[in-house]
Amino acid sequence: MNQLILKTPLSEAQEDYLKQILLLSSGGTGSLEPTLAVSTQDLADEMQIKPASVTGMLKKLSEHGLVEHEAYRGVRLTATGYKVALEVLRHHRLIEAYLHQALGYGWEEVHAEAERLEHHISEAFEARIAEWLGHPSHDPHGDPIPSAQLELPQDAPSQRLSSLEDGEYGLVMRVATQDQDALNLLARLGIRPGAKVEMLMLGHSVEGTRVRVGEQRYLLPTNLAQMVWVSPLGDEYAG
């Protein structure tokens, strides 16, 4: 319903740039407010292309009024660019939710498929799957889905699993990575949105982060523990 009207329809590459600028500028906290400027390098790393190619594309996006690019100082989304990025993100996350709930994909499997489909569905398709899903506010990774009006749901505050105190319990709210191997591992351990995780005593060490999920104890690489966002439960919820 919120079909944005632009002079030129955007290419797949252009949509991906805008989406990545949004994700990087909001710093992976899930809040999606485009605060910081994003560097050419960071975009290049994220998109697996060379910085020189990024510069070229930023010039084009800038001419189209979708970003503001100050040479050597990074790039920011304009109001229009921000809306387009949210629209792409809405497509992506609705598709993830649909693949999971309607077609039985595992929550860790949906990203790659959504990544390709997000650029090729119509507004009608978006509307129909949103309807089927009951207009969900979050995707299977716990990421917020912009509404049809491109507004973001208000998320309860959460913290990284790695920041829980020894003995503290957390309810997993988000798994914030797109790395397929990381997703596979976390899925295998049962660390997914809705799961309860305990930070073990002496849980923080150079060897990693020690946690309990269900009956099992795991030594988790700390960088993985940083990708998992939890809402603390207090020790009384043990079990």
Dist CA 90 CA 94 (whole Å):
6
CB of 33 to DNA, least distance (A): 21
Nearer to a second copy, 36 or 102 (CB): 102
Chain positions 128 to 167 lying near DNA, rule: CB under 7 A, are none
Question: What's the one-letter identity of residue 175?
Answer: V
Residue 16 beta carbon to a second copy: minimum distance, rounded to whole angstroms:
14
- Of all helices (H) and strands (E), which one includes residue 133? helix 123-133
Give the span between the Cα atoms of 131 and 94, in whole angstroms. Answer: 10
Does the protein bind DNA through residue 60 (CB under 7 A)? yes
Stretch that binds DNA, among 38-46, 119-127, 197-205, 230-238 (CB under 7 A): 38-46
Supply the minimum distance, in Å, between the C-beta of residue 132 and DNA. 31
Pick the closer one to a second copy by CB: 36 or 112. Answer: 112
| Beta strands, E only, the chain | 67-70, 74-77, 159-160, 169-175, 196-205, 208-213, 216-220, 228-232
Residue 178 binds DNA (CB under 7 A): no
* Contact status, residue 170 vs residue 236, Cβ threshold 8 Å: no
Q: What share of the chain is helix, strand, coil (3-state, %, to 5)?
A: 40, 20, 40
User: Binding to DNA (CB under 7 A): which residues in 72-111?
Assistant: 72-74
Binding status of residue 69 toward DNA by CB under 7 A: yes
Q: Give the total of residues touching DNA (CB under 7 A).
A: 26
Q: What does the binding site for DNA look like in residue numbers (CB under 7 A)?
A: 11-14, 39-42, 48-60, 69, 71-74
